[in-house]
Amino acid sequence: MTTSGGNIFSAMPGHLADEQMTALLTAPHVRIERIVSRGTSSPPGFWYDQDWAEWVIVLAGSAGLLIEGEAEPRRLEPGDYVHLPAHVRHRVEWTDRERATVWLAVHHAANLLDPR
Amino acid sequence: MTTSGGNIFSAMPGHLADEQMTALLTAPHVRIERIVSRGTSSPPGFWYDQDWAEWVIVLAGSAGLLIEGEAEPRRLEPGDYVHLPAHVRHRVEWTDRERATVWLAVHHAANLLDPR
């Protein structure tokens, strides 16, 4: 295998109607994604409920991440990271309206294709 | 399991004689580390030669990463990432002397404890 690389802040979308997800690494047990969002939120009543765990860090912008059972969204700013074990329900309450929010998400499981 | 989190730029060491590594997430198939270095380089003749793959991104500072077989080190600045498959030999030629270089490394394998 050869090495591959890039810059996570490159090729930023000029306009965003919705979140943009880009896979940076895909392997059976780990998937690394860049997520870019601006002024977006999860649909009302929607919760992410994933069969795999997710470690996520905000690298630019800011966001409000609500974890089920917590009273208020966590405000995430550059450098802030959170680990979400499988089936910890969560939603994005808001992302920065003034600039792009860049997330780096590391999804992981013993086998992402059949994580149970 | 509960969620956990923090800020990757917090608790930065004031003085660094060597690299500082902090585990942010440890699982059988993935290990996420913060690495902080300032003005350091791999010892002469030393190459990292890992049984697992590593995806690494520089979040602050800058560094020169030499991959075996390449003529010059790759200059990595904030946002630059590289995927290093298992046994791709590499070394750190230099890191910024003026400020801390913060790396986020995602080590991964089907089983990190017995990656072969």
pLDDT, tens only, A64-95: 999 999 999 999 999 999 999 999 999 999 99
pLDDT of A115 reads 65
Tell me which of A108, A111, A113 to substitute to probe the interface with B (most B C-beta atoms closer than 10 Å): A108
Task: Find chain B residues with C-beta within 8 A of A109's C-beta.
Answer: 29
How many helices (H) and strands (E) chain A has is answered by 0, 9
Q: CB–CB of B41/B81 below 8 Å? A: no
What helix, strand, coil percent values describe chain A, rounded to 5? Answer: 0, 45, 55
pTM listed for this prediction: 0.93
Judged by CB atoms closer than 8 Å, whether chains meet at B82 and A3 is answered as: yes
Nearest chain A alpha carbon to B74? A5
C-beta atoms of A3 and B85 within 8 A: yes
Output the pLDDT for position B19. 86
**Closest to A95 measured CA to CA, from A22, A11, A19, A9:** A19
Mean pLDDT of the residues in chain A: 92
| ipTM beyond cut 0.85 | yes
> Tell me, what's the pLDDT at B89?
97
Closest chain A residue to the Cα of B55, Cα to Cα? A25
Per-residue confidence of chain B (116 residues) as pLDDT tens digits? Answer: 568 899 999 988 877 777 899 999 999 899 999 999 999 999 999 999 999 999 999 999 999 999 999 999 999 999 999 999 999 999 999 999 999 999 999 999 877 777 65
Whether pLDDT at A59 is above 70: yes
Q: Are A76 and A82 in contact (CB under 8 A)?
A: yes
| A100, pLDDT greater than 80 | yes
- What is the nearest CA distance from B39 to chain A, expressed in angstroms? 22
